[in-house]
Amino acid sequence: MANTSNVTELIIIGLFQDPEVQRVCFVVFILVYLATVVGNGLIVLTVNVSKSLHSPMYFFLSYLSLVEITYSSTVVPKFITDLLAKIKTISLEGCVAQIFFFHFFGVTEIFLLTVMAYDRYVAICKPLHYTTIMSRSVCRLLVAGSWLGGIIHSMVQILVAVQLPFCGPNVIDHYFCDLHPLFKLACTDTSVEGVIVLANSGLISVFSFLILVSSYIVILFNLRNHSAEGRHKALSTCASHITVVLLFFGPAIFLYMRPSSTFTEDKLVAVFYTVVTPMLNPIIYTLRNAEVKSAIRKLWWKKMNSVVE
C-alpha cells in the first residue's frame, strides 16, 4: 500500500467485550459455521451426483451454495478464533485481503441470485423456449459473468482502499475488516471514497434488488394462467428464492445505503448476513423442495448401503 506510513497491524474491537459472552458466542458460532459448510457442501455434492437435479435451477443453486461457503469463510473463521483471543489483531495487508474476498463473494452471490430469478422468469413465463434459452452453455456464461462481476466490483473497492494513508490510530470498531471502519482510520478526508463505495456497493444491491422484485412481480402476474398444481409448484420454488433474497439484500442495503456508523446494531446486522444467512440458505431450499430432499435421501441411503456392504 503505497500511501501507508506507520500502520502495519490493526486491532479489532470485536462484537462483545465480556469474556463469558465471547466464550458462549464461540460455541454458538462455530456450530453455525460447521452447519453452513456441511449444509451448503451437501447441496453442492447432491446436485453434482444426482441425475435428477441437472436442470439450470439446480446448476445455479450448487454454485450459490459454493459461494455461500467461500463468502462465510472470508469472515467467520477469523471471527471465531478472535472470540478466544485477548487482543484481536490483523495485518493491514490481511485486512485488505479480507475486504477484497468479502466483497468479491458477496457481489458474486448478488449476481447469482439475479441470474436465478431470470431462470425462474424464463421457466414460468416462456416454458416452451426454456431449454433453448437456458442451454448449458448459457448457464455457464451466466455463472462466469457473476464471478467476473464480483471480481470487477471488488477490484474497484480495493483500488479505493490502497490509495489511503494510515498513520494511526489502528483500532477497528468492528469484528472484521470492511471499508467504512477502515476509512475511519485514514489520515485524510474519505468523503469521496465513501461516495465511490456507496455507488459501487449500495447501488449494485439496490438495482439488483429492484430487478429481482420486478421479475417476481412479472412471474406472479403470469402464474394466473397456470393450473392450480403448476401455480403451487412455481410458488413453492419462488418462495424459497424470495426468502433468501430478502435475508441477504435487507441487511446489505441497510448497511451500505446510508452513512457509516459504529452502532452495536450495525455489528449485529452484519452478523446476520455474514454468519446466519449462509447457514439458513440450504435449510430454506431443502425444506421447500421435494426434489432436493428426495435426492439427499437417496444419496444418504446409497452411502449407508456402501458402508454396510
For 163-203, the pLDDT digits (tens) are: 888 887 888 888 899 888 888 888 888 888 878 887 777 77
Asked whether 296 and 41 are in contact (CB, 8 A), the reply is: no
C-alpha to C-alpha distances, 290 to 71, 178, 241, 285, 293, nearest whole angstrom: 27, 38, 15, 9, 5
At residue 306, the pLDDT reads 59
Rg (CA), the chain: 21
Asked if the model's pLDDT at residue 223 lies above 80, the reply is: no
Task: Kindly indicate the confidence band of residue 4, based on its pLDDT and cuts at 50, 70 and 90.
Answer: very low
Asked whether 104 and 156 are in contact (CB, 8 A), the reply is: no
> What's the pTM value of the predicted model, to 2 decimals?
0.86
Q: Supply the angle between the helices 92-125 and 136-162 in degrees, to the nearest 10.
A: 150
Average pLDDT over residues 99-128: 90
At residue 305, the pLDDT reads 60
Weakest-pLDDT range from 50-59, 105-114, 235-244: 235-244
Q: Which CATH number fits domain 9-308: 1.10.579.10, 1.20.1070.10, 2.130.10.10, 1.10.3720.10?
A: 1.20.1070.10
At residue 24, the pLDDT reads 93
At residue 287, the pLDDT reads 65
At residue 218, the pLDDT reads 86
Q: Which residues of 52-90 are buried (b: 16+ CB within 10 A; e: fewer)?
A: ebebbbbbbbbbbbbbbbebbbbbbebbbebbeeeebeb
Asked if the model's pLDDT at residue 14 lies above 80, the reply is: yes
C-alpha to C-alpha distances, 253 to 103, 150, 191, nearest whole angstrom: 14, 17, 19
Average pLDDT over residues 244-273: 70
